[in-house]
Structure 1
Amino acid sequence: MMIKAVAIDDEPLALEVIRSLAEKVPFIDLQESFTNAFKAIDHLAGHPVDLLFLDIKMPDINGMELLASLRQKPLVVFTTAYAEHAVLSYELDAVDYLLKPFSFARFLKACNKAREVLNADRESKNDNPPASIFIKSGYEQLRVSFDDLLYLESGGNYMTLKLTGDRQVLSRLTMAEVQQLLPADKFVRIHRSYIVNKEKVNKAERHRVHIGGRTLPVSAGFKFSLGPAGK
């Protein structure tokens, strides 16, 4: 799968670095590069791409404002010389954040993240249901396999994903947001704070289930059985 990309940076030298690195990545098709952000916006309006390599601090319009102006928003890898912009990139769900100057290995890692996210998105649009999802944890996008996911525990605006092997992933997600990501035939909500993987439940009782070495409550208003879609 080729990834169509555009690079935008007001520094010509920075664009040359991205062009030279992109030439070494066989699945990246860097179609255009721009030092003028407004010319880039005009181009993207008629030529949508999969991925932007986007500088944050630019004259006239910054990278976040440019991204917000696009009707069709591609994946974004932010490139910047300012470490304090990392938090902003996280809030905008960037695939990755590259702090200048960056190596080829770091650039390749960002490209691989973008490819994984695009592949997962395309799988979800096919007839075959996806076997995993990408979860944003800190500044990273992590692939979580449904087969490894035991249950999810909500705590305010954060969600803890409990995985096999005593592993866990913390993400800034609400219960409503995570329910939209999970297949309803595999995962069922049993409590205002818990969603369980039906295939991983060891024993189900009237008011509790046993899963992953823990006992979780089934609260009033929620039902659980081992039948289809939790019915």
Structure 2
Amino acid sequence: MIAIAIDDEPKALDIVRVFAEKVPFLDLKTTFQDAFEALDFLRKEHVDLIFLDIKMPDISGLEFLKAVPNPPLVIFTTAYAEHAVQSYEFDAIDYLLKPFAISRFLKACTKAHEVLKVRELAIAEESKRQSVLNRPTPGVAESIFVKNGYEQIRVMLDDILYLEAGGNYVVFVIKSQKIASRMTMNEAEALLPNDRFVRIHRSYIVAKDKIDRFDRYEVYINGQIIPIGANYSHLQLIDK
């Protein structure tokens, strides 16, 4: 379970860091004293859980959550008990009142881990359903359905230029628009036929027939320069 912690007090972050090292299923990637730096991190990286202080100088934890579209799971860490009721309006997993003990910290983490497993199971079931839904029909141009918010949008495979990972989302870049869907790159890759699409980077999948040119380090599609990851340089980008 990948997590970050946000708190303007260094000592509070130290405590979370020490406690997190004792939880085997928790991977605390980094900590932030600046909530705006954390917001930028969340736009780029996948995170399952945030340990979030409520009372911070520039922006409160509650205001911070409002700025994060589809935020990860949240455990509030604060010294102010009066915020407890309001925190649960944001579907917080738990509320840790400072100073908290390792046993209380572990209980909150375990609760988050269980919720995450239930969500992952639901996503897996949805992925199976999508696999059935996306099976091509003979005589019909191939397409897939991409979840966008509460909608399922049909996307023609011929229209897809490339896919780009961003935080908890994958962006489908097609000819006329961009569609952001909450999924992992592995889930997105499973939706696409591997004879037509190839993953060239941990954050990019490209349509083979949309490649204008390429070299050892980059692929060029519709004026966009897309990097080739070091672990993907051996791949065959065009059919011989």
Look up the match of 2:119.
121
Query: Are residues 48 and 71 of structure 1, via their aligned partners in 2, closer, same or farther at CA, if it must alter by over 3 Å?
Result: farther
3-state DSSP of counterpart to 1:33: strand
Please tell me whether the aligned partners of residues 37 and 66 of structure 1 are also in contact (alpha carbons under 8 angstroms): yes
Look up the match of 1:217.
none
Please tell me whether the aligned partners of residues 48 and 72 of structure 1 are also in contact (alpha carbons under 8 angstroms): no
Give CA-to-partner distance per residue, 1:200-226, whole Å, 9 cap, x none.
xxxxxxxxxxxxxxxxxxxxxxxxxxx
Look up the match of 1:42.
40
Structure 2 residue corresponding to 1:107, chosen from 84, 105, 108: 105
3-state DSSP of counterpart to 2:29: strand
3-state DSSP of counterpart to 1:57: coil
Residues 1:67 and 2:83 aligned together: no
Residues 1:85 and 2:83 aligned together: yes
Counterpart-to-counterpart distance in 2, 1:124 and 1:44: 23
3-state DSSP of counterpart to 2:125: coil
Consecutive unaligned residues of structure 1, counting only runs of 5 or more, are 129-231
Q: Give, in angstroms, the shift of residue 127 of structure 1.
A: 3.4
Query: Are residues 127 and 42 of structure 1, via their aligned partners in 2, closer, same or farther at CA, if it must alter by over 3 Å?
Result: closer
Letter in 1 for 2:82: E
Look up the match of 1:28.
26
Give CA-to-partner distance per residue, 1:141-164, whole Å, 9 cap, x none.
xxxxxxxxxxxxxxxxxxxxxxxx
Q: Give, in angstroms, the shift of residue 71 of structure 1.
A: 2.1
3-state DSSP of counterpart to 2:69: coil
Look up the match of 2:54.
56
After superposing on structure 2, the runs of 4+ consecutive aligned residues of structure 1 that deviate more than 4 Å are: none
Counterpart-to-counterpart distance in 2, 1:127 and 1:33: 33
3-state DSSP of counterpart to 1:42: helix
Give CA-to-partner distance per residue, 1:134-192, whole Å, 9 cap, x none.
xxxxxxxxxxxxxxxxxxxxxxxxxxxxxxxxxxxxxxxxxxxxxxxxxxxxxxxxxxx
> Is 106-115 or 35-44 further displaced after alignment?
35-44
Counterpart-to-counterpart distance in 1, 2:97 and 2:74: 14
Counterpart-to-counterpart distance in 2, 1:125 and 1:49: 16
Residue-pair matches, total:
126
Counterpart-to-counterpart distance in 2, 1:86 and 1:119: 25
Q: Which has the higher contact order (CA 8 A, sep 6+)?
A: 2
Alpha-carbon RMSD across the aligned residues, in angstroms, is: 1.2
Percent identity for Structure 1 against Structure 2: 60
Consecutive unaligned residues of structure 2, counting only runs of 5 or more, are 127-240
Look up the match of 1:145.
none
Look up the match of 1:76.
74
Look up the match of 2:6.
8
Q: Give, in angstroms, the shift of residue 124 of structure 1.
A: 1.7
| Paired residues for 1:62-211 under 5 Å | 62-127=60-125
Q: Give, in angstroms, the shift of residue 123 of structure 1.
A: 1.4
Counterpart-to-counterpart distance in 1, 2:51 and 2:83: 15
Look up the match of 2:146.
none
